[in-house]
Chain A
Amino acid sequence: MLKGRHLLDPTDFSPGELDEIFDFADQIIQSPAQFNHLCDSSILATLFYEPSTRTRFSFEAAMLRLGGNVVGFSEPTSSSVAKGESVADTIRTVACYADIIVMRHPKEGAPRIASQYSPVPVINAGDGGHLHPTQTLTDLLTIRSVKHQLTGLTIGCCGDLKFGRTVHSLIKAASRYPDNRFVLISPKELRVPDYVTADLATKGIAYQEVERLDDVIGNLDILYMTRVQKERFFNEDDYVRLKDVYVLNAEKMRLARQDMIVMHPLPRVGEISYDIDDDPRAYYFKQAKFGMFVRMALISKLLGVS
């Protein structure tokens, strides 16, 4: 039963519950018009304490396509947050007006605080460099649609694995499916946090940490590219030094298998060359569309209207 639940961490829902969401997303993809009035009279609040284009648009578009309404802010300066209001108080107030809340926050764990004070479902739309569970739903739905399975995959994650919340979430969620293994490709400075590898080690899941993409790209079923995020660095020099370490281009794609797919949570900056956009293995824009459908399914399930 997903009605009334929060989604803060990609493992908050069991694989069976995720399947329920993915199955419903598939139904929406098949005939979206059929669900145009599913959320009539419901209100989604989008609290974005940090800039976002696709996640916020995707949530708002999802709610509007379900017939619901949207309120919220896209930057904290235009809300009472600028006056110093706490997360707890903002949430208790917003929950008086909205049926479901989506929150993005630069501080890690903020949506968990929100959930502790909210009588309505809270969805984590990204908290600092920590987690981004709805991107993970998007990623898993994309993989399921293309590969027709979520098991037995070699998943390469490349780029900023330290602050890349989409990567942390994906590893956490995909490690629950049998026989998946992970290849973590990053410079030493941007390796995944200890808690991520500690989890993999505890569960006995195979992973390797490498620095060169060329050496491993031929072994991958999925290559998940990420952007080195300027906003996560406290030191500008470190960002400049690391931002262009990995660039996926046509030359590197020649080393990859024909059935490998390239994913990216977007936006990209320079880590994927435009010359591979037309490669049939490039899935990042299709992935963005899956994002809206899976959010439609998620909202419906949490509101209990599906």
Chain B
Amino acid sequence: MLTITSIKNGIVIDHIHAGLGIRMFYQLGLDKADYSVALIMNAASTHMGRKDIIKIENNVDFDVTMLALIDPNVTVNVIEDEHIVRKVKPELPERVEDIIKCKNPRCITSVEKYIPQVFTLVNRELGQYRCQYCDEIYTVGKD
């Protein structure tokens, strides 16, 4: 049995769809962290079967909406003195810049690298974003 101690002050990102934790880990730059961080993959979950969890032993400040772009169903728990003091469900932002990469090989962003990758939300329910340049659809959690 894998044991990871609870954290005293920091953040726990829970209910990450199994397999997406590592992407979130890198997106948050946690591979460069100089504080305690744990990425737990394929943890048993009553509701999800398997899930990923990220525990961060530090009061980091990051944009939680960005997490929704990887998995809109995550829960962000803010921990103080070993207690959850706040739960945040991130919402999809209206516009994102340089987080999603356009997968269309014919998009101008594939060759002109100085251009920011800009996507705008077109369907919140389906989690669909559209590339500002080529209209390619990016679906959160699928692409």
Contact residues of A with B, CB < 8 Å? 86-88, 105-110, 112-113, 127-130, 193-195, 198, 202, 234
- The reply to whether B123 and A109 contact each other, CB–CB distance below 8 Å, is no
Collect the chain B residues with CB atoms within 8 Å of residue A113's CB.
108, 112, 115, 133
Q: Which of A108, A109, A195 contacts B137 (CB under 8 A)? A: A195
Contact at A112–B132, with CB atoms within 8 Å? yes
Contact B111 A107 (CB under 8 A): yes
Distance in Å from the Cβ of B143 to the closest Cβ of chain A? 11
- The binding surface of chain A is classed by DSSP as mixed
Count A-B contacts at CB 8 Å: 61
Q: Is B104 an interface residue (CB 8 A)?
A: yes
A106 touches B132 (CB 8 A): no
A303 CA to B69 CA, complexed, in Å: 42
Nearest neighbor of A234 in chain B, beta-carbon distance:
B105
Residues of B within 8 A of A195 (CB): 130, 135-137
Among the interface residues B107, B122, B123, which one has the most CB atoms of the partner chain A within 10 A?
A: B107
Of chain A, the residue at the smallest CB distance from B135 is A195
- For residue B104, which residues in chain A have a CB less than 8 angstroms away from its CB? 108
**Among the listed B110, B111, B133, which residue makes an inter-chain contact with A112, where contact means beta carbons less than 8 Å apart?**
B133
Among residues 93 to 122 in chain B, which have CB atoms less than 8 Å away from a CB atom of chain A? 104-112, 114-115, 122
Q: Is the CB of A108 within 8 A of B108?
A: yes
We find that the number of chain B residues with CB closer than 8 angstroms to chain A is: 22
Contacts A193-B135, A195-B137 hold; do A109 and B109 have CB atoms under 8 A apart?
yes
Least Cβ–Cβ distance between A156 and chain B, in angstroms: 23
Task: Apart from A107-B111, A108-B104, A108-B135, list 17 A-B contacts with CB within 8 A.
Answer: A87-B112, A105-B108, A106-B106, A107-B106, A108-B108, A109-B107, A109-B131, A109-B132, A109-B134, A112-B132, A113-B115, A127-B108, A130-B134, A193-B136, A195-B130, A198-B128, A234-B105
Q: State whether B108 touches A109 (Cβ < 8 A).
A: yes
Q: How far is the CB of A301 from chain B (nearest CB, A)?
A: 25
Q: How far is the CA of A109 from the CA of B130 in the complex (A)?
A: 12
Chain B positions within 8 Å of A234 at CB level: 105
* Min distance, Cβ A162 to any Cβ of chain B, angstroms: 11
- Shortest C-beta distance, B97 to chain A (Å), equals 14
